[in-house]
Amino acid sequence: MAVGKCNGAEAATKNVAVIFGVTGLIGKELLRKLLSKSRWKVYGIARKPEITPIQNSNYHFISCDLLNLSEAQQKLSLVQDHVTHVFWVTWASQFPLDTQQQCYEQNKAMMSNVLNALIPTTNSLKHFSLQTGTKHYVSLQGHSNGKEVRYYNEGSPRASGGYNFYYALEDLMRERLGGKVAWSVHRPGLIMGNSQRTLFNFMGCLGVYGSICKYLNLPFVFGGTKECWEEMHIDGSDARLVAEQHIWAATNEKIYSSDGQAFNAINGSSFTWKDIWPAIGLKFGVKVPNNMFSTEFVFSKELGDKGGVWREIVEEEGLVQTEMEDLANWEFLDMLFRCQVKMLGTREKADRLGYTTKCNTLESVLYWIDNMREEKLIP
């Protein structure tokens, strides 16, 4: 993958970033990329630290429950420096998506707590970067949007129905920062990355599934709907590309907007699972049957009881100590491979404004399998 370069010159003085959700798929990459650049000091916020924390004199981790206002105010007071950039790549995931009094209001309250605690204490903030997703354009409570492939752009209207917390966060940004501080919104599709602290961890699911298939000599089956198997259904978003896009927008003053600027954050060309599934199986060294597709195979039913098998694999292979649930969420995989709506976007806007980095989704998957192996998370 070509590494994107920030178009804006870094400030002459040291930038101070706060990453909310630093242990997640994008948070980890944001941290790695910022620390690799000069003149950055980074504060990372999450409830729990990484299993193997990053050690760097320019990085400080703060454990914090952002839903607790008093705790947020107390812990964020530890950020003594003049904060220049905020990256919001977290969400409260205790409740189902699109629930008003739970997921919607909880996420709104979490960001509100941070804005109340952070904004009054700094007048040096240059940019606030918010991450949501391409679910911005659809309602998961609706029915299939048909076989016709539609590509959503950043100006596409919000979906009707449901309580998508993405809208609550964007509206809160507009209300609190509009006309005062530059901010941007980034909307990835299916994120390919590596984390042990992420609920919707696609690569974690895939890594554990492939490893169990290899260990038990099971066929590498795709369980889902025929439409999800054969048709373009969702965009891939490499965590490296998404993190670099955050930084590009946050440091490129030519595109700053205090009214908010939205960008799809996707790899590029679309793909089908039917086309890339055999190569993924080959990477794991597992049996790929001639008929890889099954409507009857349900991941949560077939793999939900394999926690003991995973512990055996971890022990025999000398892997980092994890429980299966630290990496894999089978209900998420079932939801992904049986989703009734298509979430496909265009990246024309980012390309036009100068962020032209693209990825091949199969290559992204293979890269992150290697990355998990290097970190001794999978064999």
Task: List the domains of the chain with CATH numbers.
Answer: 15-191+236-265 (3.40.50.720), 196-234+270-342+359-375 (no CATH)
Angle at 65 between CA 185 and CA 88, to 5 degrees: 10
Arithmetic mean of pLDDT over the chain: 91
Looking at the DSSP bridge assignments, the partners of residue 131 are: 186
Catalytic residue among 43, 152, 166, 355: 166
Which three-class secondary structure state does DSSP give residue 24? Answer: coil
Least confident of 6-20, 209-223, 258-272, 317-331: 6-20
Sort strands 40-46 and 59-63 into parallel, antiparallel or unpaired: parallel
**Maximal C-alpha separation, the chain:** 61
DSSP secondary structure, 253-280, as one string:
GGG--TT-EEEEE--SS---HHHHHHHH
SS3 readout for 223-242: ECCHHHHHCCCECEEEHHHH
Cβ neighbours of residue 315 closer than 8 Å, sequence gap 6 or more: none
More confident residue, 2 or 62: 62
Q: Where are the beta strands (DSSP E) in the chain?
A: 15-20, 40-46, 59-63, 85-88, 127-131, 182-188, 190-192, 222-223, 236-238, 261-265, 293-294
Residue 153 has pLDDT above 80, yes or no: yes
Please indicate whether residue 75 is annotated as part of the active site. Answer: no
Residue 242 near residue 24, CB atoms below 8 Å: no
pLDDT band at 6 (very low <50, low <70, confident <90, very high): very low
Instruction: Give the residue-averaged pLDDT of 105-127.
Output: 90
User: What pTM was computed for the model?
Assistant: 0.93
Cβ-based neighbours of 84, under 8 Å, separated by 6 or more: 11, 15, 16, 17, 124, 125, 126, 127
For residue 6, give the nearest of 224, 266, 255, 200 by alpha carbon.
255
Which of 135, 214, 306, 342 does the annotation list as catalytic? 135
Rounded CA separation 45/160 (Å): 33
pLDDT at 122: 75
For residue 305, give the amino acid letter.
D
Provide the pLDDT for residue 28. 96
The Cα 46–Cα 63 span in angstroms is 5
| Known catalytic membership, residue 358 | no
**Mean pLDDT on 269-283:** 96
- For residue 272, which of 224, 234, 222, 232 has the smallest C-alpha distance? 232
The residues, ordered by sequence, that sit 6+ positions from 120 with a Cβ below 8 Å of its Cβ are none
Instruction: Determine which of 57-71, 115-129, 275-289, 300-314 has the lowest per-residue pLDDT on average.
Output: 115-129
Structure confidence by residue, pLDDT tens digits, 69-108 = 999 999 998 887 789 999 999 988 765 666 566 888 999 9
Sign of CA dihedral 90, 91, 92, 96: negative
182 to 74, 173, 347: CA distances (angstroms) = 26, 10, 21
pLDDT tens figures, 180-219: 999 999 999 999 999 998 889 999 999 999 999 999 999 9
pLDDT at residue 167 above 90? yes
- Dist. CA 307–CA 253, nearest whole Å: 49
Q: Give the separation between CA 340 and CA 15, rounded to whole angstroms.
A: 43
pLDDT at 103: 85
Q: Which of 100-114, 131-145, 328-342 has the highest mean pLDDT?
A: 328-342
User: pLDDT tens-digit profile of 306-318?
Assistant: 999 999 999 999 9
Predicted confidence (pLDDT) per residue in 224-253, tens digit: 999 999 999 999 999 999 999 999 999 999
Using DSSP bridges, classify how beta strands 85-88 and 15-20 pair: parallel, antiparallel or unpaired: parallel
